[in-house]
Amino acid sequence: MKTILRGLGTATPPLYATQEEAYAFFTSHFTLAPAEQDLYRRILLDGKIKGRYLGMDATTDALETDPDRLLARFLKFGRATAVVAARRALAEAGVETAEIVGLVVNTCTGYLCPGLSSYVAADLGLRTSIRYQDLVGMGCGAAVPNLEAAAGMLARSGEGPVLSLAVEICTATIFPSHEPELIVSNSIFGDGAAAAVLDLAPDDHPGGLARLVDFATGLFPQYREDLGYRTDGGRLRNHLSKRVPVIGAHTATEVASRLLARHGLSRNDIAWWAVHPGGTVVLAQVAKELELPDDALRFSYHVFENYGNMSSPSVLFVLREILDRGRPQPGQKGMLLAFGAGFSAFAALMEFAAD
């Protein structure tokens, strides 16, 4: 039996703000030094992102500093966005909620106990006997190990389907500050969720959208302090060093190369690259290190331009773009490649199929 992707759904909160609107907001609500205003201008007005979807009732929610209300907002929009993504994935897969036997949810933008899986399972009406896992704190790369955990759940139980959900409300961690790293964070991160329905299928006719062939992981603790959340007054505060684009590209390339070597493949054997759109600089660096053609990461750039960096769901938004606009041919191979806090990098090898 093979592990296949039967359905893939993405969703965002309803509120949308252009980068021009974000610039007007920050410059009108905060007293900024000339250098700070210039940095906001360069990112928001001169950068590649057009706008972002926000888990807020109104843009003034960005002024909220109370940790309890921030967590409540994370829960409200996290569960709602996750449910929409899940229903879209289930619809594409032709699967009813009653058929789902497993659930894996990952997030890094809010801590709950019980985890977000408890709320999503109830909202979707999943069976009470469902196997479930919450992956918390794995950062921007977490959608890939989430898929691996879901695939492992399938392999152990021998039954499916399993629902994999990556959910982030990054704007619940907005941290107004004069520090450049936080100005960058406030300017590029958006909110979203992505859901994948995984199942088992016969070797001779796997079907679905694609087959999940194998996974690889890399953990690089020597770079741990370059990227991740810290707590400050009970709130999550993003730390983002200037080295992240280089480190991200280096670690992602190492993990991708390891996975390719395991299967006797070269980079030229991969027709489709879904790389986490952490930013234009890191995407350019990944393409350089992997020696990819100029247009190989066009779908990653497209997601970044239209949604910003949504953390973990982003790479699955890229895969959705590849499926919809790239139209992979049966038998072509693809690679999911993501990286984040830890420092960590994750890769998944896929083979596209015709249903």
d(CA 215, CA 219): 14
Each domain of the chain, given as residue ranges in start order, spans 2-201, 210-352
Domain 210-352 in this protein, CATH class: alpha beta
Q: How many CB atoms lie within 10 A of CB 62?
A: 17
DSSP character at residue 309: B
pLDDT for 129 equals 97
- pLDDT tens sequence across 267-292: 999 999 999 999 999 999 999 999 99
Per-residue pLDDT band for 250 (boundaries 50, 70, 90) equals very high
Query: Given this chain, do its domains 2-201 and 210-352 carry the same CATH topology?
Result: yes
H or E, element range at 122: helix 116-124
Fold of 2-201: Peroxisomal Thiolase; Chain A, domain 1 (3.40.47)
- pLDDT tens sequence across 207-236: 899 999 999 999 999 999 999 999 999 999
CA 184 vs CA 151, 202, 213, 300: distances in Å? 35, 47, 36, 19
* Phi, psi dihedral angles at 282 (to 5 degrees): -70, -35
The SS3 call for residue 183 is helix
- pLDDT tens sequence across 78-94: 999 999 999 999 999 99
Residue 98 · residue 127 · CB < 8 Å: yes
* Angle formed by the axes of helices 280-290 and 244-262, nearest 10°: 40
pLDDT for 18 equals 99
The SS3 call for residue 22 is helix
* Cis geometry, peptide bond prior to residue 161 (ω within 30 degrees of 0): yes
